């Protein structure tokens, strides 16, 4: 999700607290957290930010006013912001696409709620949902067998085998894993599983479903080690726990890379480049990334990455001077 989308999501989430607490004037922060699936402190933080929301002019009498403690939230002046925000037709269509994708996700905790929400949107949008069905109709069949095997493996508690094309190692090999959980991120479906083939010690690995093929449910019982699975929905790939961080300089017209890779943008340097930090989970993958984007980024550190990048670049340049093993014209 881009920063612009995150800010809009934050605003919608905060404003929707006003009609919620007006409809539930006696609910505590703990009760609201239960209803909304959030932490009490997160709701308290959003309420504190609502003090600065209101009508144009932003004088004290034009801002939202309320009385807040952990036992009760009373909205004393909503400034007219007392109606839940409504979806545009475009937003409703996008939400319906997401819900229909979730309907096919194996291991979903409350699939009934997803199906119910999708049905309500279809009922509101009517015939306009036909375009939604058509837009995904060609995408689902290619994944349906894989998704069905994932669902069955999770429900039966058995191991799953598949061929996996790894972007980090630029290779493809057969895997046999114990599925632990499935989640979605930016429209893609991922499987987290216990992989006993990891060297030097077995651990949980994450696999992107659209890079899996040839799935097969094995007769062996799965051992997903669920108690050892530390999953954070805000950081599903564990980037915050990666020790190696690349210090980058990015051209201003290439900062869009931060929308597709885990790059944290910083200040602009006097030369006009933008400082950035990027977690490096796989050095091989990062070297391919840095060389492929060498016209857009410069690696500024640390020294271990600079040395590895220099060696890789020298090997690539040397290949141009070595005679080819292929016959001319072959």
| Alpha-carbon span 75 to 71, nearest angstrom | 14
**CA dist 267 → 252, 263, 276, 281 (Å):** 11, 13, 8, 24
Residue 81 has pLDDT above 80, yes or no: no
Q: What is the pLDDT of residue 230?
A: 74
Express each pLDDT in 293-328 by its tens digit.
989 999 999 999 999 999 988 888 887 777 665 555
pLDDT band (50, 70, 90) for residue 226: confident
Residue 259 has pLDDT above 70, yes or no: yes
Residue 236 has pLDDT above 90, yes or no: no
SS3 274: strand
pTM of the predicted protein model: 0.48
Residue 292 has pLDDT above 80, yes or no: yes
Q: How many other C-beta atoms can be found within 10 angstroms of the C-beta atom of residue 84?
A: 12
Express each pLDDT in 103-146 by its tens digit.
655 555 566 777 777 777 777 666 554 444 433 333 333 446 78
Q: Look-up: residue for tokens 């930016």?
A: 186
| Alpha-carbon span 237 to 281, nearest angstrom | 10
**CA dist 74 → 28, 77, 132, 229 (Å):** 10, 9, 41, 39
């Amino acid at each position: 999700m881009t920063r612009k989308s995150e800010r809009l999501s934050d605003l919608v989430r905060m404003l929707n607290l006003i009609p919620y607490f007006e409809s539930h004037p006696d609910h505590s922060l703990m009760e609201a957290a239960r209803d909304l699936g959030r932490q009490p402190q997160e709701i308290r933080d959003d309420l504190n930010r609502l003090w600065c929301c209101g009508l144009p002019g932003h004088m004290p009498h034009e801002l939202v006013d309320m009385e807040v403690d952990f036992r009760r939230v009373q909205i004393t002046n909503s400034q007219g912001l007392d109606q839940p925000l409504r979806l545009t037709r475009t937003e409703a269509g996008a939400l319906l696409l997401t819900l229909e994708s979730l309907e096919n996700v194996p291991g979903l905790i409350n699939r009934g709620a997803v199906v119910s929400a999708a049905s309500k949107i279809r009922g509101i949008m009517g015939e306009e949902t036909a375009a939604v069905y058509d837009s995904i109709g060609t995408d689902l069949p290619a994944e349906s067998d894989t998704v069905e095997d994932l669902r069955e493996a999770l429900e039966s508690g058995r191991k799953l085998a598949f061929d996996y094309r790894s972007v980090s190692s630029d290779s493809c090999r057969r895997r046999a894993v114990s599925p632990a959980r499935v989640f979605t991120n930016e429209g893609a479906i991922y499987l987290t599983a216990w992989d006993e083939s990891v060297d030097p010690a077995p651990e949980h690995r994450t696999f992107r479903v659209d890079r899996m093929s040839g799935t097969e449910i094995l007769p062996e019982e799965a051992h997903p080690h669920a108690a050892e699975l530390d999953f954070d929905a805000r950081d599903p790939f564990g980037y915050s726990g990666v020790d190696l961080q690349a210090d980058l300089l990015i051209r201003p017209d290439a900062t869009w890379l931060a929308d597709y890779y885990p790059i944290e943008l910083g200040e602009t340097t006097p030369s006009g480049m933008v400082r950035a930090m990027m977690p490096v989970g796989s050095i091989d993958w990062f070297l391919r990334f840095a060389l492929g984007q060498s016209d857009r980024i410069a690696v500024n550190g640390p020294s271990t990455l600079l040395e590895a990048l220099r060696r890789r670049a020298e090997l690539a340049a040397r290949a141009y001077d070595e005679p080819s093993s292929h016959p001319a014209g072959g």
